[in-house]
Amino acid sequence: MIAHTPTLFACVALVATIMAFCLILVGQFNRHDGLLTIGCGLLAHAVAYVGYTFYGHAPLWFTYGAANTLLSVALAFYGASLFRIVELRVPWWRVFAPMLLMLVSMVTLIDTLEPRMLAASIMLMVQCSLIIYWTLRYIPKQGRARMLLIIGSSISLIGLGMRVVAIIGGGAAEMRYDVSNLKQTISVSIGTFTAMMISLGLVLLSKERSESLLQRLALRDVLTGILNRRAILEQFSKELERARRDSSFLAVAMVDIDHFKQINDVHGHLAGDEVICHCVNHLTRRLRQSDSIGRYGGEEFLLLLPGTSPEGAVAVLDDVRASLVGAPAKFGETRIELRISIGVCCVVPDERDTTASLLARADAALYEAKAMGRNTLCLAPADLQQNDTRIGDTSETLSG
């Protein structure tokens, strides 16, 4: 089926204008989500197709030179939107350099036929290739937006490649914007898919990033950035199930900052926040990638060490406790010394073990550490009939 080419151009221009209006309107309320930039790209896309619509009825500098330059501007805005949405600095010179080359090419080659058509098609292909490259590099693989952007840009490459092949093959006259034939119908239709898929892909990317941010806010502690209580307990359930299935050790540690109320009273709550962050950073740097840490309470943290034996857990955590003694927190010019107490429960879990029971045992061990004078580590017995092991400044191993 052969469609009237100027009519196709007009339809694309109308659709792009409506989408641009909506995105620019919505993008005004949050200029960091990339919607405003996408809208500007769609607006340039729409005006470019308006120029194509009047090809043969208006000056060539407008219907071809300016129109192709505007289409290049649209693709540049799409590229800039991608960077803004993923919260990266926009490399403006890389994004808009092809557009400047397009402008120069159109000015110098406007009175030719094949050269200007080849130059325009090749510049647009370069920009579509850049969008694919940036998508592959900066957008996570699991995102649906990534698929739309890659497919949309790839389809555009196919359409532009068809034009290049036709021009090189001597069919440049058949690809003029005022000619209606099957090749033109396919090529312009591909351009329609491109405008929609790339713009929708970017909008979906913005939505996915917003959802990811909301999920992060829901699962992360605002002050420290580590898992919050809800998230660490969910992770605890997963680690417990894995350890039960693999018949492997799981070490659960409750960590509490000693005399934290006194730190707040003497230095203020802002200093207290700095102490908490300092403690978290100190703990995080000494944990393995497979370990997990979460803020369980105000100054209390829950640590999960999968695949760690009681001896290994005691060695690692007591080293962390001891090293923190020599690493005071800083608040302005003030150095604030801090100590931690640790209660550890380490078992190969069976069906009787639950997150609640293991937490209770680790918390009981923490209570024992506090009772022994703080700055101490206590290991809960593997068998509740056995005695605790306590490690601290004053004793290496004590029996309860």
Domains recognised in the chain with CATH numbers: 5-217 (1.20.1070), 229-392 (3.30.70.270)
Q: How many distinct helices (H) and strands (E) make up the chain?
A: 13, 8
Does the model's pTM come out above 0.75? no
Q: Give the residue carrying structure tokens 């806010």.
A: 217
Residue 184: DSSP 8-state: H
H or E element, residue 102: helix 92-109
Predicted local distance difference test score (pLDDT) of residue 15: 85
Report, as residue numbers or ranges, the catalytic residues: 299
Residue with tokens 């930039």: 37
* pLDDT attached to residue 86: 87
- What is the CA angle 129-131-136, rounded to 5? 95
- Return the sign of the alpha-carbon dihedral for residues 174, 175, 177, 182: positive
Distant-in-sequence, close-in-space partners of 101: CB < 8 Å, separation ≥ 6: 123
Question: Which residues lie across from 92 on neighbouring strands?
Answer: none
Helix 182-219 to helix 67-85 angle (10° resolution) is 20
Beta bridge mates, 227:
220, 294
Mean pLDDT of each 10-residue bin along the chain, 400 residues long: 79 87 81 83 92 90 93 94 90 93 94 91 93 92 86 88 86 78 74 79 86 80 91 94 94 94 92 94 91 93 94 93 91 91 94 92 94 92 52 39
CA distance 187 to 157: 10
Structure tokens at 337: 């010394």
